[in-house]
Amino acid sequence: MDLGEHLLCLDVENLEASLDFYTKLGFRLTEDHRPKRWAVVAHSNLVVCLFEGIEENLMNFRGGDISAIQEEAVANGLDFTKPAKQHPDGSWNATIHDPDGNAIFFNTFPDERERYARTGSIAD
């Protein structure tokens, strides 16, 4: 099952303080969306999305075929907290929780899906 490209998403209380911490730890800022209260930092092959105000920390998989992922996971006996749904903009998302309650969020936008299917990466 190809889940897509993985990202770790963390809920932070203070985005500026978190950016300061992670950059001092050697992460580099790769996406700066501070006016929208989020940013992305990376270190080696680890990408961390920092968000002020998301519901919970989660693993995020992007670029995969969300409908196919859900179909295979359900066939393997797993239940989704929020089933796969396509939105008016063409994006898809779904959420599942592991046995310990950790959230795994799948989402993709049409351009990401096409790019990931073609190159194996959601990056331009």
State pLDDT tens for residues 86-109: 999 999 999 999 999 999 999 999
Domain-located, residue 124? no
- Positions of E strands within the chain: 4-12, 28-33, 38-43, 46-52, 58-63, 82-86, 92-97, 103-108
Domain-located, residue 103? yes
Domain-located, residue 36? yes
The domain total for the chain is 1
- The CA-atom distances, in angstroms, between 43 and each of 48, 60, 76 are 9, 17, 34
Domain-located, residue 44? yes
Smallest Cα–Cα separation from 97: which of 55, 58, 52? 58
Provide, rounded to the nearest whole percent, the portion of the chain with pLDDT above 90: 93
End-to-end CA distance of the chain: 23
The CATH number for 16's domain is 3.10.180.10
Residues of the chain predicted below pLDDT 50 = none
Q: What confidence score (pLDDT) does residue 55 get?
A: 87
* Structural tokens at position 98: 């592991």
Domain-located, residue 89? yes
| Predicted structure pTM score | 0.86
Tally the C-alpha atoms within 13 A of residue 75's C-alpha that lie toward its C-beta: 7
Residue span of the structural domain in which 83 resides:
4-119
Q: What confidence score (pLDDT) does residue 123 get?
A: 82
Domain-located, residue 111? yes
Q: What confidence score (pLDDT) does residue 124 get?
A: 74
